[in-house]
Structure 1
Amino acid sequence: MACQSVSIIDMDEQALLGLNPNADACYRQRAIAYFEQLKESHDAWEVCAEALAKSVYSDDHVKFFCFQLMNTQAEKPFIRNKAAQVFALTFVMEYLTHWPKFFFDILSLVGLNPHGVDIYLRTLMAIDAEVVDRDIVHTAEEVRRNTLIKDNMREHVIPSLVESWYQILGAYQQSHPEITCQCLEVVGAYVSWIDLNLIANDRFVNLLLSQMCVEDLREEACDCLFEIVNKGMDPTDKTKLIESLCQVLQSAGFFNVEQEEDVDFLAKFSRLVNGMGQSLVLSWTKLAKSGDVKVAAETLRALEAKVPLLIKLLVHEDDDISANIVGFCYDYLHVLKQLPLLTDQQKANVEAIMLAVMKKLTYDDEYNFDNEGEDEAMFVEYRKQLKMLLDRLAQVSPELLLEAVRRVFSSTMQTWQTASFMEVEVAIRLLYMLGEALPASHGAHFSGDTAKTSTLQDMMRTLVSCGVSSYQHTSVVLEFFETVVRYDKFFLVEPQHIPNVLMAFLDHRGLRHSSPKVRSRVAYLFSRFVKTLHKHMNAFIEDILTRIQDLLELVPPENGVPALLTSDDQLFVFETAGVLVVNGEGPAERKQALMRSLLMPLTDAFRLLLAKLATEREEERQAVLADCLSHAVGFASRTSKAFSNKQTVKHCGCTEVYRDCLQTFLPALSCPVQRGALRSAVRSFLHRMIICLEEEVLPFIPAASEHMLKDCEPKDLQEFIPLISQITANQVLVSFSLGCSLDALSVLYLQSQVSPFLQQVFMPLVLAIFEVLGRPAEDNDQAAALEKQMLRRSYFTFIQTIASSGMNEVMASQGVENIERVLFTIIQGAVDFPDPIAQKTCFIILSKLVELWGAKDGMVGFPDFIYKHIVPACFLAPLKPTFDLTDAQTVLTLSECALTLKMIHHKRGHEFIQYLQTEYLPSLQVSPEITQELCQVLQQPDVKVLKNYIKVRIQWRKP
């Protein structure tokens, strides 16, 4: 018969009538013929699937017919999966209402037909995904439905399904192992929510254990047993189940893992053992808490009987096998930690686990240090798991761990010249890991416990004196420097070792190593080493600076010679140099000379490169030059991090050095090209100088501001405003950055220095902001709108800083017209822009200005401004449709609005109340009763009463 295409509308309705058992013989014959016809069609299965999914037919016989047809057609895996998905969706919709015999119909259809069994098992897995899988998010209604489905299945069909699984596992393990594996997967999926006794019985478990001996089945059998073991149950019953499983597995030789060559199977088996072990730990914990001492002791014996197997798997050369048992190992150590006293056997177990961890920490020959890929990343993660075990071992028995590490470390360091890099690296790594595994006493590993201190000190002494820093492998060298810095406090106890370690940092072993990776890491570690031990390096400062001089050079782009360090690495070296200079002993003249010799090469190179940039026409070349110039500024800035409240720039005599840097860098602001990069670099330097130079930086700011305010973009201004705000807020500049305080005279002095500068720069900055905010933009340009919003916020924050800084003369000196212009922008920000963050800031400003200028003897004309503009703002802002009290920022805005009203009342008194009663509130058509009520609330001392009242009465226009 020729293949035909079929659609639902083409389905032979007359033939379908023959599916009814009571139909006439002619109809039944027609149905059979029709079935044979559809079997030949390529797309009949899709028609049937759609009919089932859309519930086109309600008759069970027609549904069964569709299933049977799909069963005959579903050959390819993707078709079978799709068919299973359709069956599952049909089941979910129909099972509880119209099709309670779903599973019995499927089972009667399937029989022992391999194709049918395949579809049946796929359908069960699809049902599990729809009804049980917890990784899928369901609605509350779906959860309720799924619970009803599972309850119904448990009551009516699960025993039949379990029996079918048993029959399938027995019938197909030889002829169709793939079907058997599918069935094992189904059992594993369903065991979590069905009655365990249906599976955990002699008949079923013996069948599963027998399949552990079949090569094609044992991995899936392992997974299935794992799910059974993980099933929640009574701790005593769980222990019995696991013990019975273990006895059979051990008798069958599965515990002889050394003889097993199939690593994929061993990975599964290791996971199974891990599950059994963790389940026993959980059982012991529950029994111990319940006070059932005898049964708990039996469970602990069962648990410890598995430790030899645990260690075999943990130490296995395949990391996947080892990683799968780490959870059991960790939990077992946690059990030992809770025991009051360890037996000799338990101590032996601890030592065996220690040795296994130490062995597994070792790199293998295939690890690619130059090009680390996925395998290397997996080993790094595996090492983190082993570190967890080491930390737990330290909690169980710190003495045993310390002694074990000492033994391995000492023997390896004696023969490091001939040992493999893996052995040497792991020996040093173990010493490093002790730093976290053994808690330090008061932050130091070389005080407190004498035994620990002595052992660690001995190992560190060996590390820095045995010459291992010369080992020719990057992993060993890196581990050496990491460990030296981890235990930098050792050198406070034995400072005689500092010179040798310094040389290691500075020569071919460290900053001049052949590996860029080593050089980069050492640059950072060297900075940490020097920060801790600079007090012991005074005699070496000039020598160190001489040795690193070439590493401090600004490498020009046309050089062509690759630099030893990246610019990021150089930042650490410059900071290190700064720390050495600043913290060295001797007079300020010495520090000034050293700092000048450190920074002069930078400034000289900067001038030359800036001149080249100004004449360069090629854009790509311009970007390279600008990048180099930015690095120069960044390096100079980084040296300033060495100063502190004890060692200030002024105290060290370095003020002039940094003033010279400023004079060198500021011309970059007027460079016509690459303005963004250069402005950003110089602006960052200015931030540092405001902290370091205090009032000495102020003469440079006006000229810098003039350049930075030309041709601004919103982002430029947004980044510039914090610079001015920093100066404004820092009347006590040193206090702001270093945590110290100044006396009142010092504050007044700084105010006298800062205020004139701010008066000079205030309006140019404000006008630049107005100009940028006033630029037209496309209506749908959301990025531009967001930039303006952020700039507007920054502007209001700047005004708030000025108003709150005690320098109100900065605004007062700007002239009436300019003051009014600024004030109106604040009113506009408080009322007109639907931005609660900006609105809140604006009301804070208004409240502060009322406090400063709102008294009887305040600024001329300001009381009129209060009544004409500030009072209306306090009432109009909350009336805006955009004033959303479900928003937290808006609630804060309302609070500031109330505080502003309270401040007006505080400054203007009864005059304000009378104005509200006789003029303003009547103009809003507020009733006399509410007006009187509001005025009474306003006069109460607790501002919370006013806040709550306004929130309730936010629509005063309503009667």
Structure 2
Amino acid sequence: MCQLCVPFLTLVSLSAPVSLSLCFCFSLSLLLFLSLCSCFSLSASVSLSLLLFLSLSAPVSLSLLLFLSASAMVYFEQLKESQDAWEVCAEALAKGIYSDDHVKFFCFQVLEHQIKYRHGGLSPAQQQLIRETLMKWLQGQLMNSQPEKPFIRNKAAQVFALTFVMEYLTHWPKFFFDLLSLVGLNPHGVDVYLRTLMAIDAEVVDRDILHSPEEVRRNTLIKDGMREQVIPSLVESWYQILGAYQQSHPEITCQCLEVVGAYVSWIDLNLIANDRFVNLLLSQMSVEDLREEACDCLFEIVNKGMDPTDKTKLVESLCQVLQSAGFFNVDQEEDVDFLAKFSRLVNGMGQSLVLSWTKLAKGGDVKAAAEALRALETKVPLLLQLLVHDDDDISANIVGFCYDYLNVLKQVRYTLLVGNMDVMLAVMKKLTYDEEYNFDNEGEDEAMFVEYRKQLKMLLDRLAQVSPDLLLEAVGRVFNNTIQRWQTASFMEVEVAIRLLYMLGEALPASHGAHFSGDTAKTSALQDMMRTLVSSGLSGYQHTSVSLEFFETVVRYDKFFLVEPQHIPNVLMSFLDHRGLRHSSPKVRSRVAYLFSRFVKTLHKHMNSFIEDILSRIQDLLELAPPENGFPALLTSDDQLFIFETAGVLIVHGESPAERKQALMRSLLTPLTDAFRLLLAKLASEREEERQAALADCLSHAVGFASRTSKAFSNKQTVKQCGCTEVYRDCLQTFLPALSCPVQRGSLRSAVRSFLHRMIICLEEEVLPFVPAASEHMLKDCEAKDLQEFIPLISQITAKFKDQVSPFLQQVFMPLVLAIFEVLCRPAEDNDQAAALEKQMLRRSYFTFIQTITSSGMNEVLANQGVENVERVLFTIIQGAVDFPDPIAQKTCFIILSKLVELWGGKDGMAGFPDFIYKHIVPACFLAPLKPSFDLTDAQTVLTLSECALTLKMIHLRRGPEFIQYLQQEYLPSLQVSPEITQEVCQVLQQPDAKVLKNYMKAFFQRAKL
């Protein structure tokens, strides 16, 4: 306590103001602290210090208040850990010494800590003291006119439950009888009793709480003991409580209903599912304060696992009583909160019947299955009432039952069952937006409706499986009726009509019209609806949701236009004008940019005569928006990517000659390169960091746009065939200087590097002259991330051009490797996880690069680096295979070693390499799997072990009997491997089947690690 005295005394000199509420909070904390001072007999000097503080009138500083609060919390935690403080707390609780709520709560906390963590070390007398304390405290509650605060009762219940868990099976088997005999029907006592039961449920039953195997065994024994000894008595107490407090204390009745619902899952259902108990629950369904909790309780009863025939009878009897009581008259109920609970109950009853039918049908009990099916059918009218309810929560709660019911229809192939068409109409109605839906600022309610729509779509998909023709007919009727009057219809009606057409494409199988045929005799209903959609003028409807749904559907069914291409011009115009790319809503413009690119990709062959007109109309959308431009752009830079790609597709796949394609592509890209040069010059002289970032961002966009146009090329339409090689060479020439820009290097390098990746694919060998200079710039002053992103570029060049780039690779190899070594060797703080991860990824990239070189047959790149450099690289591969606990990198290293053995390990291989094999590669194959970090239960590590085994196999293939002799006579004996096991290893190595070796090596190292 001495550490706390000083800060308290220093308050005398303080004068900084503090808020009234903070003073009050701190005063409360001090009162608590004073109470504890007397409780734990603190020294007179400390008490004097505290009293002195209380007498002060000077304001205190916020920082000191926070410091004192923290100090007090530390002290309280020390009290919890004290050997004898809990006994003082127990006495305080038993005798009711303190009236302060915080003191009482803290005393319970100390007691809780003692029971949870130190119960096993307490003497029998101390354990008895805890039991007596709890019962005396509870007895005190029975005598109080006012109950304790809820947070104290909850904490007390937790302590009762912990004590029960620790002692019920040993020292306190009469826990519940003692509790019940003490509380009787005293409302304060009953409240604590019910809270204790819920706390016991959380400790013993709740499946969401993870328990150790020992705790699971203990909890099982507790439940078994309760079933045998006390559950009937507990159930009787619940019945008495439910009957006694229904009018006077509805909150206690609700607590009791919650307890019944929690316990019914693991106790004998007959104790609850009987006439007297169910009638009592049903009577409470009519009491306004109790009905929701009664619903929840019945739901838990219905969900209880049991025999399917008995479950059917239980549900049927419950439904009959509910129906007789008028609960099925959903339209007359105004309480939506109760209806949401009731809908959940009906959903549980319906799904229980479906599960019963499924089990009975599989079991071959035809009669019982038929009864369950009839019971199911009779619930469909109620299902439909709840499904179409205006409140979406009520409707959403019944979707599970509806889905399962449709699944039954699908299985029995009996489409005349009740409600098939009615379910369709209900789903169509509920898909409709509310007028209150905020399209401009979508919040939580809107997000919930979107999720609800996804559930309804599942129902529609299932309906399509049950009765596709009926669904097509129903959607067709709704769609045609709405589209005929779209000018006067509400946006909700129009949107849902188009939405249903869109959904059909995913819901219907191809055999029911989800495809378009060129045969006019076989024209489908879907084709008719699409024709109506695109020729109705509906694209001009002025609402965001309708506009979006129109374009989504047009692109969803783009194959329709292959059959009826005469509609393409009109739809193209809707994409290009105020209805699409120039719509007033940014949300619509953004989505249409993407959809337009998809539309053009599918139908470009039918657009040849419109290409230059389209390019002219989208010209302003292709402009690079410089940072100084104060006008908001119609499209974001991400949206512009799609427009550039679309322009590229139109140019490349048009029927123009190569000269014309070249001219169009140059016209498309020249504004980008011109702007790039100007902006790069500005960036080099710019000093303001925010302005630099904006310029670099704009430059990156320019490179990205040019790169995106190259996606239009293919094997059939290459850059060279389209005459566009020179255009992209010019782009490269323009963009590469950005690599040496001294500011904003990260974003600029990333953009140019991505462009180079694209050009390697598109320009073929034409890109090679640019690679050396680009590499030189990218290797200068680079960080781990720069290198990690540069290596894939070099690997791509290596894999694609092989011998063509061998001289360049030989030249750049060691500078690249040395740059990697330099970054990997930079010191970093031990707890800097980001730096460690960057190094790990760089190390992986380095090994992947070496693997690319060796697997591409370019071993001369490595061989021509000089003996010292080759050895240095080889040792890094050995180190990667053995020393770093990264199975992905280790696997790559063993693949490299195996390839090098194949290339250099024979009699005509590299001089000195056989010696390296025996000194380093063979030991690596045994030392790596023996490392503690080499986890043979991990799938990735097992793959690494497989590559390790294949490396040994390759050594045997290249060195033959010499290798076997080395293992037998030198290496394995040095590892203390017995002669018998050594012989086994050598025999397996000589077998032709590599799989046998892999399995053996795994078993070998598993034994070795025991």
> Does structure 2 conserve the Cα–Cα contact (< 8 Å) formed by 1:45 and 1:74?
no
Deviation at 1:244, TM superposition (A): 2.8
Cα pair distance change 1:190/1:933, threshold 3 Å: closer
* Contact 2:476/2:529 (8 A) holds in 1: yes
Report the alpha carbon displacement of residue 849 of structure 1 after superposing the two structures with TM: 2.9
* Whole-angstrom CA distance in 1 between matches of 2:641 and 2:689: 26
Structure 2 unaligned residues grouped into runs of 5+: 4-9, 16-37, 41-71, 109-140, 412-418
Moved more, 904-913 or 45-54: 45-54
Cα deviation digits, residues 616-638 of structure 1 (max 9, x gap): 00011101111111111111111
Cα distance 1:906–1:294, how it changes in 2: closer, same or farther (>3 A)?
closer
Q: Deviations over 1:931-956 (max 9, x none)?
A: 88877776665556766777788799
Moved more, 64-73 or 553-562: 64-73
- 1:512-565, Cα deviation, whole Å (9 max, x unpaired): 111111111111111111111111111111111111111111100101111111
For residues 653-679 of structure 1, what are the alpha-carbon distances to aligned partners after superposition, in whole Å with 9 as ceiling and x for unaligned? 211111111111100001010111111
1:814 is paired with a residue whose SS is coil
Three-state SS of the structure 2 residue aligned to 1:58 is coil
Q: Does the Cα contact within 8 Å between 2:508 and 2:514 map onto a contact in 1?
A: no
The verdict on how the C-alpha distance between 1:591 and 1:361 changes in structure 2, with shifts beyond 3 A counting, is same
Question: Is this contact kept in 2: 1:84–1:122, CA < 8 A?
Answer: yes
For residue 666 of structure 2, the aligned residue among 596, 599, 613 is: 596
Range with bigger deviation, 376-385 or 644-653:
644-653
CA distance in 2, matches of 1:33, 1:801: 58
Name the stretch that deviates more: 64-73 or 612-621.
64-73
Taking the TM superposition and a 5 Å limit, the aligned residue runs for 1:7-22 are none
Q: Distance in 2 between matches of 1:521 and 1:958?
A: 58
The residue number in structure 1 matching 2:406 is 333
Distance 2:688 2:77 in 1: 78
Structure 2 Cα separation of the partners of residues 491 and 895 of structure 1 = 53
Partner of 2:383: 310
Q: What's the CA shift string for 1:564-598, capped at 9, x where partnerless?
A: 11111111111111111111113222222221111
Residues 1:42 and 1:459: Cα distance change in structure 2 (over 3 Å): farther
In the alignment of these two chains, the number of paired residues is 910
Which 10-residue stretch deviates more, 900-909 or 448-457?
Answer: 448-457
Q: 1:34 to 1:909 in 2, by over 3 A?
A: closer
Indicate the larger mover: 385-394 or 408-417: 385-394
Question: Matches of 1:919 and 1:254 in 2, distance apart?
Answer: 87
Higher mean displacement: 231-240 or 802-811: 231-240
CA distance in 1 between counterparts of 2:836 and 2:726 reads 44
User: Given that residues 441 and 448 in structure 1 are in contact (C-alpha distance below 8 angstroms), is that contact kept between their aligned partners in structure 2?
Assistant: no
Flag the 1:831–1:189 CA change in 2: closer, same or farther, 3 A: closer
* Cα 1:118/1:572, change in 2 over 3 Å: same
| Contact in 1 for aligned 2:483/2:494 (Cα 8 Å) | yes
Partner residue of 2:950 out of 899, 912, 935: 899
Q: Percent identity?
A: 90
Deviation at 1:803, TM superposition (A): 1.7
Q: CA separation of 1:823/1:290 partners in 2, compared to 1, >3 Å: closer, same or farther? A: closer
Contact 2:517 2:563 in 1 (8 A): no
Does the residue aligned with 1:954 lie in a helix, a strand or coil?
A: helix
Matches of 2:648 and 2:839, distance apart in 1: 40
Distance 1:249 1:650, change over 3 A: same
Looking at structure 2, the residues matched to 768 and 64 of structure 1 have their Cα atoms a distance apart, in angstroms, of 62
Distance 2:782 2:578 in 1: 48
SS of the residue aligned with 1:320?
A: helix
- Seen in structure 2, the aligned counterparts of structure 1 residues 764 and 463 have a Cα distance that, compared at 3 Å, is same
Q: Which residue of 2 aligns with 1:761?
A: 812
- In the other structure, the counterpart of 1:46 is 87
Deviates more, 1:580-589 or 1:43-52: 43-52
2:320 and 2:977 map into 1 onto residues whose CA distance is 88
Partner of 2:317: 244
Q: Could you tell me how far 1:337 is from its partner in structure 2?
A: 2.0
Deviates more, 1:891-900 or 1:366-375: 891-900
Tell me how far 1:197 sits from its aligned partner.
2.0
Secondary structure of residue in 1 paired with 2:720 = coil
What TM-score do the two structures reach when normalised by structure 2? 0.81
Contact 2:930–2:1009 under 8 Å retained in 1: no
Distance change in 2, residues 1:54/1:456 (3 Å) = farther
On the 8 A contact 2:101/2:152 being kept in 1, the answer is no
Query: How far is 1:288 from its partner?
Result: 3.1
Q: Does 1:851 align with 2:905?
A: no
Q: In structure 2, what is the Cα distance between the partners aligned to 1:18 and 1:123?
A: 49
- 8 Å Cα contact 2:514-2:526 kept in structure 1: no
Structure 2 residue 883 is the aligned partner of structure 1 residue 813:
no
What TM-score, normalized by structure 1, do the two folds share?
0.85
2:891 pairs with 840, 850, 870, which one?
840
SS in 1 for 2:1005: coil
Of the structure 1 ranges 711-720 and 212-221, higher mean CA displacement relative to structure 2 is found in 212-221
Q: Against the structure 1 CA distance between its residues 841 and 941, is the aligned structure 2 distance closer, same or farther, given a 3 Å change threshold?
A: same
Q: 1:19 to 1:940 in 2, by over 3 A?
A: same
Q: Deviations over 1:407-442 (max 9, x none)?
A: 111111111111111111111111111111112359
Query: The residue matched to 2:145 in structure 1 has which SS?
Result: helix
Instruction: Give the distance between the partners of 2:406 and 2:827, measured in 1 at CA.
Output: 69
Shift of 1:283: 2.6
CA distance in 1, matches of 2:77, 2:568: 91
Q: Distance in 1 between matches of 2:84 and 2:929?
A: 66
Q: Structure 1 residues 238 and 797, CA, compared in 2 at 3 Å: closer, same or farther?
A: closer
Aligned residue number for residue 160 of structure 2: 87
Residue correspondence of structure 1 range 322-361 to structure 2 within 5 A? 322-338=395-411, 349-351=420-422, 353-361=423-431
Distance 1:154 1:64, change over 3 A: farther
8 Å Cα contact 2:649/2:712 also seen in 1: yes
Q: Are the counterparts in 1 of residues 105 and 155 from structure 2 also a CA contact under 8 Å?
A: no
Secondary structure in 2 matching 1:73: coil
Distance in 2 of aligned mates of 1:561 and 1:34: 61
d(CA) in 2 for partners of 1:360, 1:406: 17
Work out which of the residue numbers 209, 212, 216 in structure 2 matches 1:143: 216
Pick closer, same or farther for the CA change 1:240–1:877 going to 2, 3 Å: closer
CA distance in 2, matches of 1:606, 1:681: 13
Q: 1:933 to 1:406 in 2, by over 3 A?
A: closer
How far apart in 2 are the matches of 1:169 and 1:187?
10
SS of residue paired to 1:261: coil
Change (3 A) 1:332 1:71: farther
Measured in 2, the distance between the counterparts of 1:864 and 1:637 equals 49
Specify whether residues 69 and 693 from structure 1 end up closer, same or farther in structure 2 by C-alpha distance, changes over 3 A only. same
Decide whether the 8 Å contact of 1:687 with 1:723 is kept in 2: yes
Query: Which stretch shows the higher mean deviation, 581-590 or 516-525?
Result: 581-590
Contact kept in structure 2, 1:236 and 1:295, CA below 8 Å: yes
Q: 1:252 to 1:703 in 2, by over 3 A?
A: same
Give the deviation of 1:891 after TM superposition: 5.3
* Inter-CA distance 821–245: structure 2 relative to 1 (3 Å threshold): closer
Q: Deviations over 1:65-97 (max 9, x none)?
A: 999679777421112212222222222222222
Kindly tell me: are residues 174 and 805 of structure 1, through their superposed partners in 2, closer, same or farther at Cα, counting changes over 3 Å? same
Residue 782 to residue 294, structure 1, CA distance change in 2 (3 Å)? closer
Deviation at 1:703, TM superposition (A): 0.2
Q: 1:278 maps to which residue?
A: 351
Q: Which moved more, 1:590-599 or 1:565-574?
A: 590-599
**C-alpha distance in structure 1 between counterparts of 2:744 and 2:101, whole Å:** 77
C-alpha displacement at 1:853, in angstroms? Answer: 3.3
What CA deviation, in whole Å up to 9, does each residue of 1:241-272 have, x standing for no partner? 33333333223222222121111111112222
SS at match of 1:565: coil
Corresponding position: 1:32 with 2:70: no
Q: Describe the shift of the 1:166–1:41 C-alpha distance in structure 2 as closer, same or farther (beyond 3 A).
A: farther
> Does the CA-based 8 Å contact 2:39-2:88 persist in structure 1?
no
1:436 pairs with one of 496, 501, 506:
506
Q: Structure 1 stretch 406-415 or stretch 253-262: which is displaced more?
A: 253-262
- Whether the 8 Å contact between 1:836 and 1:893 is mirrored in structure 2 is yes
Q: CA 1:38/1:494 → structure 2, altered by over 3 Å: closer, same or farther? A: closer
Question: Is the contact between residue 878 and residue 894 of structure 1 (CA under 8 Å) also seen in structure 2?
Answer: yes
Q: For 1:765 and 1:662, how far apart are their aligned partners in 2?
A: 22
Q: Which moved more, 1:775-784 or 1:543-552?
A: 775-784
8 Å CA contact 1:39–1:73 kept in 2: the answer is no
Q: Residue 386 of structure 1: CA displacement?
A: 1.1
Alpha-carbon offset, residue 165 of structure 1: 1.9
Give 1:62-101 correspondences, 5 Å limit: 74-101=147-174
Distance in 2 (CA, whole Å) between partners of 1:64 and 1:566 is 57
